[in-house]
């Protein structure tokens, strides 16, 4: 029995080390490979429609719509009110009256509040119907999903026009950046500001991973700043397939569906950013990351379809790695948590071997330091801000560690509902009134 348990624990350690090795390999490749260059000219015949799912977003929705209209005056903006209890619908009704390129799509019970994916699927159908009736060229109609607190940067649509000039590109994902809070740093706000700093660093790293994925044709869609060609959406709906599947990671799953619909379909990554508010609350941040983890776990049934498809093999490998990452994290955590059992058995686990531990520690510290150095170069951080970023790493790691058992518990108990993120009004933004 003891020998069998020793073998089992050794295999667990080996699996954990393999998972860590794959993670280090992905990080190294993401850091070292040069940025792919896009050669196509922008397609000025494309038309953009922003889709903004909104549930109780009165604090931010007005400023978001006004900013989009200012930076993209040629685009349309459609807000999907998912039966809000606050003044979201009233604010949007007033803006729609004042601006013909702004519209309000209202969902009502019992169909409302069924999730972001359901709201987007419904809204796209509402918008496609008049376009199809008018005989519009749907390959030149682009829907852009933006969160209720999202702000696009000036060059985003120009870059999207260049990426989508390639007819095989049916979707794209913009870089995401975090807008820091303007509250003064104090003992009360310290943890929140650290989390915001790490969220922006996290998206900085994701930017480099997405560059790697663009080479492999496996760019992931992650919601805010997600572009989709209307012709693809129409073909999915005609087949009875929702563009955004019913899961907690509906955005990533929508990219999988896009990839599986036709092997020729491609997705691009856009360097121009969409900015959003961070989550400066440890509990809310852990819950958000747990939701993301659980949503990825729900994508496990895609693997047989993925490997039966003609998707390029590097893309299949990368997407498989991402889908399995929550399960691989569980293996790593189990390997670490069972180390005390080795002591009771009078043995030493591989993870606690001095040489193995030194290599893992050195690689991890080296990777983190090089990311912070790159982040510093891009943002021109002061030495004090660099130290603050480094000091924030343990807080971020602790928050992620808290999210894992929550995700596993909710997944295996069948819980699928989550509290939505709470947003705050930002100083200096003009907010429309609701009127009489």
Q: What is the pLDDT of residues 51-67, one digit of tens each?
A: 999 999 999 999 999 99
Burial class, 347, CB count within 10 angstroms (exposed 0-12 / middle 13-18 / buried 19+): middle
pLDDT digit string, tens, across residues 263-280 = 899 999 999 999 999 999
pLDDT band at 180 (very low <50, low <70, confident <90, very high): confident
pLDDT band at 118 (very low <50, low <70, confident <90, very high): very high
Q: What is the pLDDT of residue 424?
A: 82
The set of long-range contacts for 86-89, using a CB threshold of 8 Å and a minimum separation of 24, is: 86/56, 86/57, 86/58, 87/58, 87/434, 88/54, 88/55, 88/56, 88/57, 88/58, 88/61
Q: What is the pLDDT of residue 382?
A: 95
Question: Distance between CA atoms of 193 and 184, rounded to whole angstroms?
Answer: 9
Q: Which residues pair with 176 in a beta bridge?
A: 274
* Structure token pair of residue 75: 């685009």
Q: What is the pLDDT of residue 79?
A: 98
**Alpha-carbon separation of residue 363 from 25, 268, 367 (angstroms):** 10, 30, 6
pLDDT digit string, tens, across residues 270-320 = 999 999 999 999 999 999 999 999 999 999 999 999 999 999 999 999 999
More confident residue, 195 or 426: 195
**Alpha-carbon separation of residue 62 from 52, 72, 82, 102, 426 (angstroms):** 11, 15, 16, 11, 11
pLDDT band at 425 (very low <50, low <70, confident <90, very high): confident
What does the pLDDT average to over 350-377? 84
Question: Mapped to the 3 state alphabet, what secondary structure does 179-220 carry?
Answer: ECCCCCCCCCCHHHHHHHHHHHHHHHHHHHHHHHHHHHCCCC
Sign of CA dihedral 429, 277, 230, 140: positive
Q: What is the mean pLDDT of the chain?
A: 90
Question: Distance between CA atoms of 339 and 355, rounded to whole angstroms?
Answer: 16
Q: What is the pLDDT of residue 436?
A: 44
169-179 and 151-152 strand pairing:
unpaired
Residue 344 pLDDT more than 80? no
pLDDT digit string, tens, across residues 89-110 = 999 999 999 999 999 999 988 8
pLDDT digit string, tens, across residues 20-39 = 888 999 999 999 887 777 67
Q: What is the pLDDT of residue 190?
A: 93
* Longest Cα–Cα distance in the chain: 77
Question: Mapped to the 3 state alphabet, what secondary structure does the chain carry?
Answer: CHHHHHHHHHHHHHHHHHHHHHHHHHHHHHHHCCCCCCCCCCCCCCEEEEEEEECCCCCCHHHHHHHHHHHCCCCEEEEEECCCCCCHHHHHHHHHHHCCCEEEEECCCCCCCCCHHHHHHHHHHHHHHHHHHCCCCHHHEEEEECCCCCEECCCHHHHHHHHCCCCCEEEEEEEEEEECCCCCCCCCCHHHHHHHHHHHHHHHHHHHHHHHHHHHCCCCCCCCCEEEEHHHHHHHHHCCCCCCCCCCCHHHHHHHHHHHHCCCCEEEEEEEEEEEECCCCHHHHHHHHHHHHHHHHCCCCHHHHHHHCCCCHHHHHHHHHHHHHHHHHHHHHHHHHCHHHHHHCCCCCHHHCHHHHHHHHHHHHHHHHHHHHHHHHHHCCCHHHHHHHHHHHHHHHHHHHHHHHHHHHHHHHCCCCCCCCCCCCCCCCCCCCCCC
Q: Tokens 């200012």 belong to which residue? A: 70
pLDDT band at 349 (very low <50, low <70, confident <90, very high): low
pLDDT digit string, tens, across residues 236-245 = 999 999 999 9
Q: What is the pLDDT of residue 417?
A: 74
More confident residue, 101 or 432: 101
pLDDT band at 432 (very low <50, low <70, confident <90, very high): low
Cis bond upstream, residue 422 (ω within 30)? no
Q: What is the pLDDT of residue 356?
A: 75
Q: Which residues pair with 48 in a beta bridge?
A: 142
């Amino acid at each position: 029995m003891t020998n069998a348990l020793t073998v089992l624990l050794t295999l667990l350690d080996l699996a954990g080390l393999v998972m860590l090795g794959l993670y280090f390999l992905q990080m190294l490749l993401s850091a070292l490979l040069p940025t792919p260059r896009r050669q196509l000219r922008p397609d000025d015949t494309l038309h953009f429609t922003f889709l903004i799912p909104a549930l109780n977003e009165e604090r931010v929705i007005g400023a978001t719509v006004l900013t989009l209209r200012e930076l993209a005056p040629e685009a349309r903006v459609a807000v999907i009110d998912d039966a809000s209890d606050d003044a979201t619908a009233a604010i949007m009704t007033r803006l729609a009256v004042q601006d013909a390129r702004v519209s309000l799509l209202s969902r009502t019970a019992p169909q409302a509040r069924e999730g972001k994916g359901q709201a987007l699927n419904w809204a796209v159908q509402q918008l496609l119907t008049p376009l199809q009736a008018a005989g519009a060229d749907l390959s030149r109609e682009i829907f852009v999903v933006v969160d209720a607190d999202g702000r696009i940067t000036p060059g985003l649509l120009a870059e999207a026009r260049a990426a989508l000039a390639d007819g095989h590109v049916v979707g794209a994902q913009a870089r995401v950046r975090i807008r820091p809070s303007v509250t003064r740093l104090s003992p009360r706000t310290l943890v929140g500001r650290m989390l915001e700093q790490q969220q922006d660093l996290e998206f900085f790293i994701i930017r480099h991973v997405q560059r790697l994925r663009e080479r492999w044709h496996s760019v992931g869609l992650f919601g805010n700043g997600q572009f989709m060609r209307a012709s693809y959406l129409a073909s999915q709906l005609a087949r009875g397939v929702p563009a955004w599947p019913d899961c907690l990671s509906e955005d990533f799953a929508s990219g999988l569906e896009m990839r599986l619909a036709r092997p020729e379909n491609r997705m691009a990554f856009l360097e121009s950013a969409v900015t959003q508010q961070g989550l400066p609350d440890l509990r809310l941040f852990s819950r958000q990351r747990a939701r993301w983890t659980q949503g990825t776990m729900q994508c496990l049934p895609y693997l047989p379809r993925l490997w039966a498809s003609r998707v390029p093999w590097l893309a299949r490998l990368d997407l498989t790695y991402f889908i399995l990452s929550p399960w691989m994290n569980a293996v790593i955590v189990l390997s670490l948590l069972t180390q005390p059992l080795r002591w009771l058995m009078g043995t030493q686990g591989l993870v606690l071997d001095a040489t193995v531990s030194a290599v893992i520690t050195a690689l991890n510290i080296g990777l983190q330091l090089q990311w912070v150095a790159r982040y510093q170069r891009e943002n021109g951080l002061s030495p004090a801000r660099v130290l603050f970023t480094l000091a924030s790493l343990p807080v971020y790691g602790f928050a992620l560690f808290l999210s894992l058992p929550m995700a596993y518990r909710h997944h295996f108990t069948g819980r699928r509902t989550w509290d939505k993120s709470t947003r705050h009004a930002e100083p200096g933004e003009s907010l429309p009134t609701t009127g009489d």
